[in-house]
Amino acid sequence: MRIYSWNVNGIRAAARKGLRAWLDGCGGAVVGLQEVRAGRDQVPPELDAPEGWHFDVSSAERAGYSGVALYSRRRPDAVLTSLGAPEFDAEGRVQIARFGRLTVANVYFPNGNGKDRDNGRVPFKLGFYRRLFDVLEPERRGGGRVLVMGDFNTAHTEIDLARPRENREVSGFLPEERQELDRWIRSGWTDTFRVFERGGGHYSWWSQRFGVRARNVGWRLDYVLASPAAKEFLRGARIHPEVQGSDHCPVSVDLDPAVVG
């Protein structure tokens, strides 16, 4: 059972770059998209509940901003799109879907950059992390099978970006952002990719400046975290840099299908 996460940097732009063909051929059971930048009525027709998929989107109040979308072969038993905090809910960043005994949180974490390309949104970003943690904590603590996937907008350790020394004061690699991810890991969440790959050079986002992706000067910003109960069903985790169509590439996990049981 393969589950994908992908920041598509605009679902309408991704549609023009072959998103539908990728979706049909990816072999996924669940596909979570982030930064879709569209309401349901703006989703290209070929991507609005294509045959064989259940589909829903959660949009930001601000047009053309943020948003997440979820495709699944099986209809979710329930989907939650609110964290119970208006300042976060207004940005359409969360879909928490339940499939039997498996809960999948498809999340677009905020960027810490402010309007002037400073770090002015870091407090908002960290507040979002903490609110989501609190919402999911009862289920994780209670032995629930939970995945949290998406664009976390943070590179966790020095091996998760190509140039750590030059980016120590940049949002996405600030100490307080990395410490928040540390807190999740200490609390029992597992970075699934690192179960299978300990080395560096594996990234999921690259600047759109010419030649940067070809030289693999990137950041690993996209993760799938697993609760202890979900980790028991983990069989693989990958980053898919060969997939084009966005400044991010998809990441995935493979699970024993019994996880939904």
Judge whether 116 counts as a catalytic residue: no
Domains of the chain: 2-260 (3.60.10.10)
Is pTM beyond 0.85? Reply is yes
Burial of 161 (0-12, 13-18, 19+ CB in 10 A): buried
Per-residue pLDDT of the chain (261 residues; tens, 9 = 90+): 999 999 999 999 999 999 999 999 999 999 999 999 999 999 999 999 999 999 999 999 999 999 999 999 999 999 999 999 999 999 999 999 999 999 999 999 999 998 877 999 999 999 999 999 999 999 999 999 999 999 999 999 999 999 999 999 999 999 999 999 999 999 999 999 999 999 999 999 999 999 999 999 999 999 999 999 999 999 999 999 999 999 999 999 999 999 999
List 56, 151, 247, 254, catalytic entry = 151
